[in-house]
Amino acid sequence: MGNLINILILIAILAVAVTLGFGLWSLHRGSDADRSRSNKLMRLRVGLQAVAVVLLCVGMWWKSTHAG
């Protein structure tokens, strides 16, 4: 279970980074449609960050209760 949590944390962090990159790129392009897409991507990034933080908390809890 510990390895699964670690893998999920890495996937969540990667998803946040990729979403941030696409959001910044879309914002950089500059048209109104791109700015709207960037705004949606940044909202998605906030949700993904919340998932990553929850996974980090679960991982820390798991390590503290199942130390071996």
pLDDT, tens digit, 9 for 90 and up, residues 20-65: 999 888 888 878 887 888 889 999 999 999 999 999 999 999 999 9
Entry pTM: 0.84
Residue 32 lies in a domain: yes
Question: Number of folded domains in the chain?
Answer: 1
Parent domain of 36: 2-63
Supply angle C-alpha 41, 8, 48, rounded to 5: 20
| CA dist., res. 30 & res. 36, Å (int) | 10
Q: Tokens 């392009």 — which residue?
A: 29
Residue 51 lies in a domain: yes
Residue 1 confidence (pLDDT) above 80: no
Residue 26 lies in a domain: yes
